Amino acid sequence: MLLTSIITSDALVGCVFLVVIALVSLRLLPVHFISEWGDAAPSVSIAATAYDLYEKVSKSSARKARTTFHSGVLKAGSTKWIADEIGYAEKLERFERAIEVNAVVSSEISKLATTNDKTSPGGNHKRMDRVAGDVPDVGVEDHAKVREALKHFVRDWSEEGRRERSKAFGLVLDALQRLESDVSRRREKRLLVPGAGLGRLAWEISQLGFDTTANERSHFMNLALKFLLSPQTTREVNQHKLHPFIHWWSHQRSTSSTFRQVSFPDVVPRLSDTFHLAEGDFFKLSASWSYVVTLFFIDTSLNVIKTIQHIYSLLEPGGVWINLGPLLWASSGVALELSLDEVLQVAELVGFELLPVNESGESVSMVECEYTSDPEAMMRWLYAAAFWIARKPVSSN
């Protein structure tokens, strides 16, 4: 989910980032990474370059904020002493130091992208050698995706993200354990998690014994996940440090909260016999799967009917689709923006049979959950996410 950050009150920086905000503001930020990029899919070199440029771009914004502070506050005698008293100049210096900490991670991610597949687990892209003059065109939205990916480390792989994960993941994990109560048979069940992001849900499912594949198209996410999967870059619990909330200064209870440091990962993931990574387009995946699990995914579709049809085609007869997520339709280019009842009708028209999700026999339940939120902030995005379980009939063709 992309929550575009405005780091300071700097008018110039604000104007740049308002371009991004304007694309999605009518749909209530944050938004998801779009699953159907078409020909506009950012290349791995763009993603790697954006990670590499994180420090340079962020410090440039910090310097502009400092310039604005000096011209707008320090020259105004009536406000200067108050700004000095609350330590705003030190806050700007603290911002730059926090950027440097984050840049340690972003730089390592970029470096890993330039290595061969044998040192980059799950990779299916060739070595990326950048030469002088061969620098990809990295846009504002690409830098925003880097910041968002860094926040996903907190959601997916830190102790601080546990509360948010447990609310979203719990229903899915409980449902899978009910549907496959015989642990010894789970290894036979192939399970796909499209739009897996940084892969924590897929990894958790694999720990239950399912043969699980995380699928993700975004190179921003895949590079970050490989950073965790590779023994070259991640060797132990809480090895890495981030200041994940420094790019959003609105709605902050305290400066110390804004600049707090988070350690990750809380566990060290590795690819295994039950945990796989399939990079690339969800629509190019083929059958057959026992389960497809979608978390905050289907509303990233440009054509949700096509997405549901493909989920159906991926499942073997009797296979099960488990979904949890809102309907925050992606910004430009969306062919359909359906209500929940329309989405469920589409699922049934495609051929799915909705199963009870609770003891009351309801086919859908609404779950309040968050996505990459700051639990210490004054504002949160709270979703009433829809949870359902649907089965492909055994007799389907």
Tens digits of residue pLDDT in 176-187 = 999 999 999 999
- In angstroms, rounded to a whole number, what is the distance separating the alpha carbons of residues 215 and 200? 12
Higher pLDDT, 72 or 277: 277
Higher pLDDT, 24 or 312: 312
Q: What is the mean pLDDT of the chain?
A: 87
Tens digits of residue pLDDT in 203-231 = 999 999 999 999 999 999 999 999 999 99
Mapping DSSP to helix (H, G, I), strand (E, B) and coil, where does residue 173 land? helix
- In angstroms, rounded to a whole number, what is the distance separating the alpha carbons of residues 332 and 328? 12
Tens digits of residue pLDDT in 309-366 = 999 999 999 999 999 999 999 766 788 999 999 999 999 999 999 999 999 999 999 9
Given a cut of 50, whether residue 308 has pLDDT beyond it is yes
pLDDT of residue 257: 97
Tens digits of residue pLDDT in 262-276 = 999 999 999 999 999
pLDDT of residue 396: 63
pLDDT of residue 31: 40
Structure tokens belonging to residue 87:
């330590």
Structure tokens belonging to residue 128:
């990326």
Are residues 324 and 387 in contact, defined by beta-carbon separation less than 8 angstroms? yes
State the CATH class of domain 11-391. alpha beta
The one-letter amino acid at 169: F
- In angstroms, rounded to a whole number, what is the distance separating the alpha carbons of residues 55 and 154? 19
Measured between its terminal Cα atoms, the distance across the chain in Å is: 35
Report the chain's C-alpha Rg in angstroms: 22
Its pTM stands at: 0.86
pLDDT of residue 321: 99
pLDDT of residue 77: 72
Q: How much is the average pLDDT of 62-69? A: 92
Portion of the chain with pLDDT greater than 70, in percent: 83
- The residue extents of the domains of the chain are 11-391
